[in-house]
Amino acid sequence: MELLNMVKLGTMGFKPADIKAINASGIESDQIIELAKAGYQATDVNELIKLAQEEPKPQPEPEPEPEPDNHPGNGGASAQLDDIQKKLEEKEKELAAANEALKKAQNKNASQNLGAGNQKTATDLVKESLRTLY
């Protein structure tokens, strides 16, 4: 640890024994200075060093869940699978029917006259203009 970092820690309330323990721990002094700036006291830093030096206990690995067998004798999983397949087939049939109805509607609309609509003849226009005079 550099002398400058030791002085910084001393001005932040760390005692020489604390600084010596930090130096012996092998943790970078810059990290300790940042902790001190964040408001950590020497006792808090010492506890963190102790926790860091302890070897973490290996956590027991969770046992993998047994995979359900897809045998015909297994009623639960195979029944659900059969239900899902039936629903999928029904939805595919509905989709095919909807596609056919869409094609028919598109063909019907394609053959319709989309022209100007009702075009009035000259006599109809004259009759209409005379009706609006009264």
**Mean pLDDT for back-to-back runs of 10 residues, the chain (134 residues):** 78 82 78 82 80 70 66 68 94 96 90 72 90 79
CA distance between the termini of the chain: 108
- Is the pTM above the cut of 0.75? no
Six token digits for residue 79:
């029944």
Contacts for 52 with CB less than 8 Å, ≥ 6 apart: 25, 27
**Contact 23/10 with Cβ under 8 angstroms?**
no
3-14 exposure pattern, b = at least 16 Cβ within 10 A, e = fewer: eebbebbeebeb
Distance CA 3, CA 60 (A): 44
Residue 119 pLDDT: 80
Determine the Cα angle at 96 with ends 90 and 102, to 5°: 135
Distance CA 120, CA 127 (A): 11
Q: Which of 43, 37, 40 lies closest to 17 in space, CA to CA? A: 43
Residue 123 pLDDT: 93
- Structural domain spans, the chain: 3-53, 78-106
